[in-house]
Amino acid sequence: MSRLSLTRDKIYKTVARQLHGQVPCWVCGEHVLPAAATLEHIRPLSEGGNSHAENLAISHEVCNGQRHAKGVIVESVE
């Protein structure tokens, strides 16, 4: 398992524990199943973002891809 996969799993489990098993997609707000979870950079690396935990969020693979295709940065769903 890659280091990125381990980070994704760790963040997913942390959020799930904090929110009683419900992990919302950072983009659409719907629940993300573990198998569909991807790690999202809130501020893209290409725009000066980093890979620190505070700049990472869980999203659906489809939402992550659509966000990048549009070049849109959305506000965090909280």
Residue 77 has pLDDT above 60, yes or no: no
Q: Which domain holds residue 61?
A: 3-70
Would you place residue 69 in the very low, low, confident or very high pLDDT band (cuts 50, 70, 90)?
A: low
Whether the per-residue pLDDT at 72 is higher than 60: the answer is no
Residue 78 lies in a domain: no
**Angle at 67 (CA atoms; ends 63, 70), nearest 5 degrees:** 140
pLDDT digits over 4-60, tens only?
677 888 888 888 888 888 899 998 999 999 888 988 888 888 899 998 888 888 999
Q: How many domains does the chain have?
A: 1
pTM of the predicted protein model: 0.68
* Residue whose C-alpha is closest to residue 77's, from 14, 26, 39, 23: 26
Q: Is 22 a member of any domain?
A: yes
Per-residue pLDDT at 78 = 47
In a domain, 30, yes or no: yes
The separation between CA 22 and the C-alpha centre of its own chain, rounded to angstroms, equals 14
Q: Is residue 76 part of a domain?
A: no
CATH number of the structural domain spanning residue 59 = 1.10.30.50
